[in-house]
């Protein structure tokens, strides 16, 4: 177990940077973080529908407890949905890093790893990239500005993508279909639009994305729900807008993913800094409009 939670886990004190220009590659977004002093173990990891790549290069280091008794230190990669159940926590001291959010459709090419090996888990970047991870951290530490760090990271990821086979176009389309629908598109509709059998979609999607399509849709819908709650929307309004049967259904999903209630989840530091570090999602339309 990590240290006990503390009131010093305040994202308002963190230095958060965003690149002025978007990545040259679709499905890649990044932010920079400088967390001064001590980050105590109250930072609960909230699941997100992206593969998370963290490149640490500061004087300190972070520790992530993955909920199974294992601790991971420094630069790492976490699959989509990492933090499921609310048992994953992070702490550290004097942390400086670039965090990259990768669409699962491109993550395999960027990382050189099978998405199924990353699903809902975390691995050391050193284990994936070897010496390249060390050299990347060294270069970032020597680079004085956030904008130059973002440019270096973007070029590094572009080189890695260029050296590998692109994602399966049909699977990438299915993933984007789920994202655009806010997780509301049904699996049988995806199979119909692709002209595939349910088994074929399930197998190919899981192989290339790392999680099955139904679970991916549930994760995407949850992510939009918690960000709407974070923005101040009422629980009943969020449940209706995002296609939950009722407030109890939304409550169960939030509890399942985070181990806490909709009322409590909006105070999680991971989510409150999320609103500063990443662009706000597009306004939600009605469930019927989202499926057109």
Which range has the top average pLDDT, 16-25, 38-47, 280-289? 16-25
pLDDT for residue 112 is more than 80:
yes
Domain boundary among 162, 197, 225: 162
Domain extent for 112: 11-162
Q: Which of 171, 139, 170, 144 is nearest to 155 (CA)?
A: 139
CATH number, position 42: 2.60.120.10
Position 280 scores a pLDDT of: 60
Q: Is residue 4 part of a domain?
A: no
Task: State the residue for tokens 């409590």.
Answer: 264
Q: Is residue 5 part of a domain?
A: no
pLDDT for residue 42 is more than 90:
no
pLDDT for residue 264 is more than 50:
yes
Average pLDDT over residues 84-113: 92
Share of the chain above pLDDT 70, in %: 90
- Sorting pLDDT into bands at 50, 70 and 90, what band is 38? confident
Q: Are residues 84 and 182 in the same domain?
A: no
Domain boundary among 117, 147, 162: 162
Q: Are residues 18 and 149 in the same domain?
A: yes
Q: Tens digit of pLDDT for each residue in 140-153?
A: 999 999 999 999 99
Q: Is residue 6 part of a domain?
A: no
pLDDT for residue 180 is more than 90:
yes
Mean pLDDT (the chain, rounded): 88
pLDDT for residue 70 is more than 60:
yes
pLDDT for residue 4 is more than 50:
no
Q: Tens digit of pLDDT for each residue in 232-259?
A: 999 999 999 999 999 999 999 999 999 9
Could you give the number of structural domains in the chain?
2
Q: Is residue 26 part of a domain?
A: yes
Q: Is residue 259 part of a domain?
A: yes
Rounded to whole angstroms, how far apart are CA atoms 175 and 252? 24
Q: Are residues 137 and 243 in the same domain?
A: no
Position 2 scores a pLDDT of: 43
Q: Are residues 118 and 242 in the same domain?
A: no
CATH number, position 215: 1.10.10.60
Q: Is residue 1 part of a domain?
A: no
Q: Are residues 107 and 188 in the same domain?
A: no
Cβ proximity of 131 and 73 under 8 Å: no
Q: Are residues 181 and 207 in the same domain?
A: yes
Position 174 scores a pLDDT of: 97
Q: Are residues 17 and 137 in the same domain?
A: yes
Share of the chain above pLDDT 90, in %: 68
Q: Is residue 183 part of a domain?
A: yes
Q: Tens digit of pLDDT for each residue in 215-231?
A: 999 999 999 999 999 99
Task: Read off the tokens for 198.
Answer: 């349910």
Q: Are residues 136 and 174 in the same domain?
A: no
Average pLDDT over residues 150-160: 95
Q: Are residues 50 and 158 in the same domain?
A: yes
Q: Tens digit of pLDDT for each residue in 185-213?
A: 999 999 999 999 999 999 999 999 999 99
Q: Are residues 15 and 158 in the same domain?
A: yes
Position 37 scores a pLDDT of: 78
Q: Are residues 144 and 190 in the same domain?
A: no
Domain boundary among 145, 162, 179: 162
Q: Are residues 121 and 222 in the same domain?
A: no
Which range has the top average pLDDT, 38-47, 157-166, 177-186? 177-186
Q: Is residue 105 part of a domain?
A: yes
């Amino acid at each position: 177990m990590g240290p006990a939670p503390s009131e010093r886990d305040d994202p308002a004190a963190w230095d958060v940077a965003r690149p002025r220009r978007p990545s040259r590659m679709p499905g890649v977004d990044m932010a920079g973080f400088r967390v001064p002093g001590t980050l105590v173990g109250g930072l609960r990891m909230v699941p997100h529908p992206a593969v998370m790549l963290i490149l640490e290069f500061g004087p300190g280091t972070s520790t992530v407890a993955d909920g199974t008794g294992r601790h991971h230190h420094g630069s790492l990669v976490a699959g989509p949905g990492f933090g499921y159940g609310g048992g994953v926590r992070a702490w550290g001291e004097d942390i400086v890093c670039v965090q990259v959010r990768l669409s699962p459709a491109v993550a395999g090419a960027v990382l050189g790893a099978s998405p199924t090996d990353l699903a809902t888990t975390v691995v050391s970047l050193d284990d994936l990239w070897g010496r390249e991870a060390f050299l990347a951290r060294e270069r970032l530490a020597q680079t004085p500005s956030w904008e130059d760090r973002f440019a270096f990271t973007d070029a590094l990821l572009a080189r890695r993508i260029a050296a590998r086979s692109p994602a399966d176009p049909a699977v990438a389309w299915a993933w984007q279909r789920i994202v655009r629908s806010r997780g509301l598109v049904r699996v049988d509709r995806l199979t119909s639009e692709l002209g595939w059998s349910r088994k074929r979609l399930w197998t190919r999607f899981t192989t290339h994305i790392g999680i099955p399509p139904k679970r991916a849709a549930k994760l995407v819908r949850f992510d939009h729900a918690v960000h709407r709650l974070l923005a101040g929307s009422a629980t009943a309004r969020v449940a209706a807008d995002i296609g939950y049967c009722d407030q109890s259904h939304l409550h169960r999903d939030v509890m399942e993913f985070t181990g806490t209630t909709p009322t409590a989840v909006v105070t999680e530091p991971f989510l409150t800094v999320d609103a500063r570090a990443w662009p706000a999602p597009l306004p939600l339309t009605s469930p019927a409009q989202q499926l057109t």
